[in-house]
Amino acid sequence: MALQAADPVADIVLQINSPGAQVHSVLALTDVINALSCPVRTVAFGFVAGTSNLLLASGAKGKRGMMPNARLMLQQPFGYAAGSAPEVHVTATEVSRNLQVVNTMLAARCGRTLQEVEEATDRDMYLGGEAAVAFGLVDEVVVSGKFPGNGTPEPLREAGVKVAEMAKLANKRAVTGYD
């Protein structure tokens, strides 16, 4: 909000390297992103997992990217419960609600159906650049003219094609061995 106040038309760049974040923290940040009038550019580098992918996908369309060697991991939000049976039930209900909220928002931002997102997040699903673009989490892989092949070794670029096929969800079992 301070960046928007300083320059209401300039892009705000949110660089994300997160092994996952608490659902309520991510939802709070997505509320702020949605409230801003200026565009938010999101860029993944390193590793982005779990609900942090919702932040990445919440950037302005056409302004969501990732570095060539970044990795994304789609997964269900975590929740932990302890205490008496009624307390565990209350917590389980909240975890289920959070899962529905995150998956619904992710589906809208990725141009996917809720069922596709639920299938993708049912087990850990790792994505490189091509697969993340195919899934709709990002719009581009940030390209550098300094390194041939953008610094990614050839065998890994070939593996990226297989992962891109997995992002279509039709042959997820063939690529990962899991449904």
Task: Give a yes or no: residue 5 inside a domain.
Answer: no
Q: Residue 82's pLDDT is what?
A: 77
Q: Residue 42's pLDDT is what?
A: 95
Task: Give a yes or no: residue 144 inside a domain.
Answer: yes
Task: Give a yes or no: residue 100 inside a domain.
Answer: yes
82: exposed, middle or buried (Cβ count in 10 Å: 0-12, 13-18, 19+): exposed
Q: Would you say 78 and 21 are in contact if contact means Cβ atoms under 8 Å apart?
A: no
Task: Give a yes or no: residue 3 inside a domain.
Answer: no
Task: Give a yes or no: residue 153 inside a domain.
Answer: yes
* Single pTM value for the model: 0.76
Q: Residue 55's pLDDT is what?
A: 95
Residues of the chain where predicted confidence (pLDDT) is lower than 70: 78-79, 144-179
Q: Residue 171's pLDDT is what?
A: 54
Task: Give a yes or no: residue 4 inside a domain.
Answer: no
Which residue segment(s) compose the domain that 163 sits in? 10-176
Q: Residue 95's pLDDT is what?
A: 83
Q: Would you say 124 and 75 are in contact if contact means Cβ atoms under 8 Å apart?
A: yes
Q: Residue 16's pLDDT is what?
A: 95
How many Å apart are CA 96 and CA 140, to the nearest integer? 32
Q: Residue 98's pLDDT is what?
A: 87
Task: Give a yes or no: residue 166 inside a domain.
Answer: yes
Q: Residue 20's pLDDT is what?
A: 85
DSSP secondary structure string for all residues of 147-160? SGGGG--HHHHHHH
CATH assignment of the domain containing 99: 3.90.226.10
Q: Residue 100's pLDDT is what?
A: 92
Q: Residue 151's pLDDT is what?
A: 53
SS3 content of the chain, % helix, strand, coil (to 5): 50, 15, 35
Task: Give a yes or no: residue 1 inside a domain.
Answer: no
Name the domain count of the chain.
1
